[in-house]
Amino acid sequence: MKVIALKTPMIEIGQELRPIINQSIKENFPEGLPERSVLVVTSKIIAYEQKRLVPSLAAQKGREVSRDEERAFKHELVAQEADYYLDPHSSKYDLMLTIAEATLMVNAGIDESNANDNYVLWPKNLYAEAEKIWRNLREDFAVKEVGVIIPDSRSIPLRWGVVGTSLASCGFHPLNNRVGDKDLFGREIKMVQVNVAEALATAAVFEMGEVEERTPLALITDSKMIEFMDRPLNDQELADLRIEAEDDMYGPLLSSVNWQKGKRNE
């Protein structure tokens, strides 16, 4: 498998991504987008296209505000974007643990890096956005087997550092079900499903970087493990990607805290 990070110009708020994506692909692949490739488009530039940025309180007021005022403003924004959240005072870092888009995240994915005194929210309609990009690629490059992933970075409990995670995907089966297969010693596999979208997102985000690289795209090629599709995921397939907390292996942890409903859940 090969993962190549693709550079782009600076993305402006409200700027259409389709021509930028196409130009970046053409500069790196003059013969066209390869069949059986997966384009990874970071969620942040989609948020820029959707104008999903909120100026900081200080920027809105045009003056300095106290740390407590800015912090309270951000906490309210997180509560607005979360399905569920924990009180920030429960964290020694004054961060809010949240569940949003069926993902356990810090601060509902709201980010301040590369935001120029704004808070960048997650894009709306993530799977619809992945499908739109997928359809554009098939039309613009005349490819049949192609995938799209929209990732972000996340931390992992009990480990320092961040890795990539898939928020949405299109054009391939995101899960590879190995239940019923046999291991090296003939033991039947009972539970294992390989999360293809997560694995690819992790590799791509590693190559794309986290700071000033200006490579918000990546192209994954030459993987034999991806099963491509000629349609988006249907409603049942999307539902099958998510686990209710009571059915999750980490359910005892998730259900032992006092989650508060976010405004997305109202």
What is this structure's pTM?
A: 0.94
Tens digit of pLDDT per residue, the chain (266 long)? 999 999 999 999 999 999 999 999 999 999 999 999 999 999 999 999 999 999 999 999 999 999 999 999 999 999 999 999 999 988 899 899 999 999 999 999 999 988 999 999 999 999 999 999 999 999 999 999 999 999 999 999 999 999 999 999 999 999 998 888 888 888 988 888 899 999 999 999 999 998 888 999 999 999 989 999 999 999 999 999 999 888 999 999 999 999 999 988 66
What is the predicted pLDDT for the residue at 191?
A: 80
* CB half-sphere exposure, 257, CA atoms < 13 A: 19
Dist. CA 131–CA 160, nearest whole Å:
33
Dist. CA 153–CA 216, nearest whole Å:
12
> What are the chain's domains?
1-52+122-233 (3.30.1330.100), 53-121+244-266 (no CATH)
What is the predicted pLDDT for the residue at 44?
A: 97
